[in-house]
Structure 1
């Protein structure tokens, strides 16, 4: 079970208990009775962990693709609430600690009517999240998703993560210049960096590699680094679910 869902059986059972206890809004769909809660959760986790086609998951569980689709539709919106206690908000961060910040694009299909998802930087469509870790490489926070066309600096401003923080303790790439953060120097137009500035940039980047490792680990959830295929309106909820599961798994 671990290799298909990313969780052992006891953890999946605990997730089932939490999901079954989560507050459900009016009109929330039920998971398919033929699967039950446990298999519906397992199917949803498998989908998120490996981005397998629903028909393939259905075949392994002996049910149809529409049944798997109904299971994913029912379970996914319940996950963020079920694991909310494990997910830190920006206000939970230590204002005196040092953090490394970076953004990453979570890709999806190129929807013709949604140009706001296109990232010129990545030459792909998706949604942007901001990720922070400690200088020791421990994941600390992930923002809510925002349109992929937005730059990292805009995204961090929208998240409000620096509002109560000492930004001088935060480290980022050149995209965050202007926020009093520790960032590399940008080469001046028509000029070159001085030798000490080049060395400074090298040292900053030696620290920044930790956030790249943290993001890479988060993207072990295949659905976060391959094109999202379900309806676009479900993408943000799926991202929130995976963020919650990732913090739950690493707690």
Structure 2
């Protein structure tokens, strides 16, 4: 990956962004002191190659030993680059396309397999997984916010209540699926034993499903980054990765 600044194909292939979008990402990382802390040995790789290295790691989920020969540095350096830059690529709030009272948001959780037993738990997908709650703008499909991961055994409703995301949705209509009953979100009409849906409720549910499916499309695009299919990082590694992938997902949609 040496000389990545001159090779636009590397940038567009491994980040999903055009060169100008990648340039804005570099600018944001530089503004967050991504160049360094002002002390110690300088980085061997320039900032552009370090950001690309993190993008390749999230996109392909290669091990650090596999990435080291590609970047021309040691596995230990690859680890330090990922630990340093991962949190600097965090998601910025999506810009509102409409007034808050007119916006429509969708919330859903996705299970991400993890290796860290302190982050995940054996959940319904028969793997150790973490539950990540994500808010998506229904009109633009941009990721508005993502909560910190919780063990996969925690129900969506409880994960939503404990995430703090509800505070960011004050005065805004938010859709959820049937797992978010009694949370204040707009959920489908529920069928009960011996009580069929009333006239018009099935049509309401169909319209609800059609809109809410957009969050599933967002999850599908985000999981093109294979790191979100099998997280080997410990601690805050998954949280930083979700934030970073969401940050790259948004510019790709607004290109």
Question: Does the 8 A contact of 2:156 with 2:180 survive in 1?
Answer: yes
Separation in structure 2 between the aligned mates of residue 31 and residue 6 of structure 1, nearest angstrom:
31
The offset of 1:140, in angstroms, is 4.5
Aligned length: 239
Question: Does the 8 A contact of 1:106 with 1:127 survive in 2?
Answer: yes
Separation in structure 2 between the aligned mates of residue 237 and residue 177 of structure 1, nearest angstrom:
29
The offset of 1:175, in angstroms, is 0.7
Separation in structure 1 between the aligned mates of residue 245 and residue 40 of structure 2, nearest angstrom:
20
The offset of 1:43, in angstroms, is 0.8
Aligned mate of 1:132, from 128, 132, 135 = 135
How is 1:68-79 mapped onto 2 (pairs within 5 angstroms)?
A: 68-79=78-89
Aligned mate of 1:156, from 160, 165, 171 = 160
TM-score normalised to structure 2 length = 0.76
CA RMSD of aligned residues (A): 3.4
Question: Does the 8 A contact of 2:142 with 2:249 survive in 1?
Answer: no
Separation in structure 2 between the aligned mates of residue 193 and residue 119 of structure 1, nearest angstrom:
35
What is aligned with 1:109? Answer: 115
How is 1:1-251 mapped onto 2 (pairs within 5 angstroms)?
A: 1=10, 2-23=12-33, 33-80=43-90, 86-88=92-94, 94-109=100-115, 111=117, 114=118, 117-118=120-121, 120-136=123-139, 138-148=141-151, 149-163=153-167, 165-166=170-171, 169-188=173-192, 190-191=193-194, 193-194=196-197, 196=199, 197-224=201-228, 226-251=229-254
Which consecutive segments of 4 or more residues in structure 1 shift more than 6 A?
26-32
Question: Does the 8 A contact of 2:132 with 2:149 survive in 1?
Answer: yes
Question: Does the 8 A contact of 1:6 with 1:45 survive in 2?
Answer: no
Unpaired stretches in structure 1, ≥5 consecutive residues: none
